[in-house]
Every structure is written in C-alpha cells, then in structure tokens.
Amino acid sequence: MVDKRGQAGIEYVILIGILLVFLIPTIYYSLNEANNNVKLTQLESSVRRLVKAADSVHAIGPGTIEIITITLPSGIQSVLVNGTRILMKVSMFGGISDVHFPSNAELTGTLPTTEGTYNIRVESQRSGKVNITQRQ
C-alpha cells in the first residue's frame, strides 16, 4: 500500500489557492467602489451645502455673509463657479465625472481643488451676485 497522507494537504492548498484567485479581485473591486461612492457622496454634500448657502445669502440681501466648512476629497480636476451653478470635475469611476448643482443666485468666485477641509466665505454683493471664495 502506498501512503497517501500528503495528498490531502496538497488538495487543501490547491482549493485555497483557487478560492483566493476568485476572492481577491472581488474584494479589491468592492473596496474600490466603496471608496468612490464615499468620495462622490462627500463631494455632492459639499457642493449642495455651498449652493444652499449661496441661495440663503442671496435671499437675505446684499452684504450678507455666511461662512461654511466643507471637506473636499482627492481627485478634483477643476472647479467652475460661474453663472447659476457650481461645476466640479473629478476623476473617479475610471474617468472624469461632473458634479454640479444649480443655484437661484448668480454665482462668482473660486474654490480650491486640493483635498482638505476649508472654510468658505459666501457673500451676497450689491450687484446681485453671490461671491464664493476660500476664507483666509
């Protein structure tokens, strides 16, 4: 009789290897998608808060100032504050995605594109426009 004690161990190693080949890409994909969804949610929340603050100071009238704190995720390519919207281009989901929200007010100003937490000054001007800038 031939001793076959080692065969069961090799079969277990092969089985675990096959499971890992399927499991590792699935876990990587899931973590990547979760990270992108968190980034998108954070970005949408920040833009929504900016637009809400702009609409609020515009409704109150000229000279009204509101300071809000927003957190921007990594991957922002560009920010456009012009007209009645804030448009952010961000790299996610394997390409460039646009995140924008419309406002009731005419908007001007600039926003940072680097990752971090910022205090943003939202001010209603005499011209009827709302200026959005990073607070110094």
**Ranges of the chain with pLDDT below 70:** 1-6, 136
Give residue 11's pLDDT.
Answer: 87
Side chain identity at residue 12, one-letter code:
Y
- pTM over 0.85? The answer is no
* Partners of 117 in beta bridges: 71
Residue 95 is predicted with a pLDDT of 86
For residue 40, what are the domain limits?
Answer: 5-134
Asked whether 72 and 116 are in contact (CB, 8 A), the reply is: yes
What total of structural domains would you count in the chain?
1
64-to-56, 95, 132 alpha-carbon distances in Å: 9, 38, 12
| Chain centroid to CA 91 | 9
